[in-house]
Amino acid sequence: MANGYDFIIIGGGSAGSVLAGRLSEDPGAPVLLLEAGGSDRHPFYPLPAGFAKMTKGIGSWGWDTVPQKHMQGKMFRYTQGKVIGGGSAINAQIYTRGTAQDYDDWRQMGCAGWGYDDVLPYFRKAEDDETWDNRYHGKGGPLGVSEPRAPLPICEAYFAAAAQLGIPRNPDVNGERQDGVCYYQLTQRNVRRSSAAMAYVTPNRNRRNLTVRLGAQVRRLIVEAGRATGVELADGTRLTARAEVLLASGAIGSPRLLQLSGIGPADHLSGLGIKVVHDQPQIGANLQDHLDLYCIAELKGPYSYDRYAKPHWAVLAGLQYLVARRGPVASSLFETGGFWYADPDARSPDIQFHLGLGTGIEHGVASMPQGGITLNSCHLRPRSRGSVRLQSADPAQAPLIDPNYLADPIDRDRTIRGLKLTQEILAQSPLQPYILAQRLPGPEVRTDDDYFNFICRHSKTSHHCAGTCRMGADDGAVVDVRLRFNGIDGLRIVDNSIMPTVISSNTNAAAIMIGEKAADMIKADHGMPLT
């Protein structure tokens, strides 16, 4: 194709992979997918349990946040995917969509066409669900969706413990209701990861009109006479897009690249010596994320997967997986959880749980001597807003990521309530045959101030960042409801940065939905056949 394509997609993550697969369905449309990271051929990527290695930096940009001024200066490791498939290649494979209310709220904010009834067909279109085939789920789509294969008896005890607090069991938190505890649906097929790249790109690599370039970091967008015409790579290569440039680098990567291209807050860019191409103060603003807390309990015996960290047990785990697709290698460790309320008056659940079948999973936390479990909680409706800015005009420099966690006092209150609820669940009688003692938070954590101090030491990102290139119908919105950039022709943003508000769950399923819906809008706008 020389250097000319119809569509150039920047970022081969969850949404970008979908775009590549769907737009290249039209053989007359040359499509180029650019991914700064490498391939997903490392043996950890397809294994469900490989997630535990990914959090330690494999396939990641390796960024950190700025010190959090409302959390005693704590800095967070901010794992962002740098591999084909992006976050979907390194996450825990949890497939949750949020509630219908999340999307209906977007519609009420002026985002026509993004209500729940509008987006549900795209969730269904993406799915090849091994369990469900009904109004809420689909079969035959590219994305494998399945149930966990390696739960342990302590998972059922967790369900019984939650029931004692009035939290019901819910077999499908992506169905009619989100409330309740559950085994999460997973982006897996045949007990192997089904990342967006594995689902949408790999099966289509032989298409003559689809070009995939790995290790291709984009330095800047090229804008001429108010139109995005292509990209410049880090090595100086220029590539031309005849139809559109599609930015799909995520809620951190997309505003970062826009600002490096002179598109963003004019005062910030000028201060860094970057020529202003287009002044848009909202680029990089409105950052939202779910702050994740963890409660850790030591067990009385080998009731979790901790023992498999020892070499001889690890060999057995490998054999279990190879022979029967069972055991710890078949588990992403956080396949059990649920949704409930910190605020009893909330319209839909505002707390999410993840039960981790081991310890030593969280950065900086040692494994329990007898083995243990980790029960995480996160407040799903943060009011705090952060930002993504550049620290210099040098593309090699990491961005300044500021989630601004707990800036709003209500976030602090709901977060503490969620942590206390995890402790209550772990204290219920069905779990007592398994649990020796709760270790984190310890008995010294009693008052709300104690809990806050604990949170400032023991918390992490949920990897659910969103909102930094907000969609809307108002003058301040970065993109319109068809995801077209306001003020520059030929440019669309297609990733979780367009969310006006972060959804109340894990965000990977929504990113894939956004990619599916955007692909149909792009096809319609360019007279391409719909599938």
Residue 531 belongs to a domain: no
Closest CA to 286 of 182, 388, 162, 203: 388
Helix (H, G, I), strand (E, B) or coil at 509: helix
Q: Which residue range forms the structural domain that includes residue 514?
A: 4-525
Secondary structure percentages of the chain, helix, strand, coil, to 5: 30, 25, 45
Residue 389 belongs to a domain: yes
HSE-up (13 A, CA, CB side) for residue 215: 3
* Residue type, position 445, single letter: V
Rounded Cα gap, residues 263 and 283, in angstroms:
8
Residue 530 belongs to a domain: no
pLDDT tops 70 at residue 519: yes
Query: What local confidence, expressed as pLDDT, does residue 55 receive?
Result: 64
Q: Among residues 363, 458, 464, 526, which one is catalytic? A: 464
Give the number of other Cβ atoms within 10 Å of residue 113's Cβ: 12
CATH number at residue 212: 3.50.50.60
Rounded Cα gap, residues 277 and 354, in angstroms:
44
Distances (CA, A) of 21 to 31, 32, 229: 9, 11, 22
Low-confidence winner among 227-241, 299-313, 327-341, 469-483 (lowest mean pLDDT): 299-313
Low-confidence winner among 45-54, 453-462, 502-511 (lowest mean pLDDT): 45-54
Average pLDDT over residues 468-492: 97
Query: What local confidence, expressed as pLDDT, does residue 79 receive?
Result: 87
Q: Residue 306 — very low, low, confident or very high, per pLDDT cuts 50/70/90?
A: confident
Mean pLDDT of the chain: 95
Rounded Cα gap, residues 99 and 504, in angstroms:
7
Q: Residue 1 — very low, low, confident or very high, per pLDDT cuts 50/70/90?
A: very low
What's 370's DSSP letter? T
0.95 exceeded by pTM: yes
Which tokens hold the place of 36? 């700064």
Residue 430 belongs to a domain: yes
Helix (H, G, I), strand (E, B) or coil at 452: helix
Peptide bond into 441 cis (omega under 30): yes
Find where tokens 């949704």 sit.
Answer: 339
Distances (CA, A) of 128 to 161, 183, 201: 32, 18, 16
Let me know if 464 is a catalytic residue.
yes
Rounded Cα gap, residues 403 and 485, in angstroms:
24
pLDDT tops 80 at residue 338: yes
Find where tokens 């149930």 sit.
Answer: 147
* Residue type, position 1, single letter: M
* Residue type, position 428, single letter: Q
Taking the alpha carbons at both ends of the chain, their separation in whole angstroms is: 25
In the chain, the number of structural domains is 1
Which tokens hold the place of 123? 């969730």
Query: What local confidence, expressed as pLDDT, does residue 3 receive?
Result: 61
Q: Where are the alpha helices (DSSP H) in 278-392?
A: 311-324
Residue 18 belongs to a domain: yes
Which tokens hold the place of 441? 């938070």
Which tokens hold the place of 186? 């997973």
261-277 tens-digit pLDDT: 999 999 999 999 999 99
* Residue type, position 246, single letter: L
pLDDT tops 90 at residue 208: yes
HSE-up (13 A, CA, CB side) for residue 371: 17
- For 514, the enclosing helix (H) or strand (E) is helix 508-525
Average pLDDT over residues 471-491: 97
Which tokens hold the place of 475? 């003058």
Query: What local confidence, expressed as pLDDT, does residue 368 receive?
Result: 84
Helix (H, G, I), strand (E, B) or coil at 34: strand
Burial class (CB in 10 A: 0-12, 13-18, 19+), 468: buried
Residue 124 belongs to a domain: yes
HSE-up (13 A, CA, CB side) for residue 7: 32
Residue 51 belongs to a domain: yes
Rounded Cα gap, residues 82 and 106, in angstroms:
29
CB 372 within 8 A of CB 362: no
Query: What local confidence, expressed as pLDDT, does residue 199 receive?
Result: 98
What's 489's DSSP letter? B
Query: What local confidence, expressed as pLDDT, does residue 116 receive?
Result: 98
Find where tokens 């391409």 sit.
Answer: 528
Residue 407 belongs to a domain: yes
Residues written for the chain:
531
Average pLDDT over residues 367-385: 94
Q: Count helices and strands (H / E) in the chain.
A: 13, 24
Q: What are phi and psi of 415, to 5 degrees?
A: -65, -45
Q: Residue 75 — very low, low, confident or very high, per pLDDT cuts 50/70/90?
A: very high
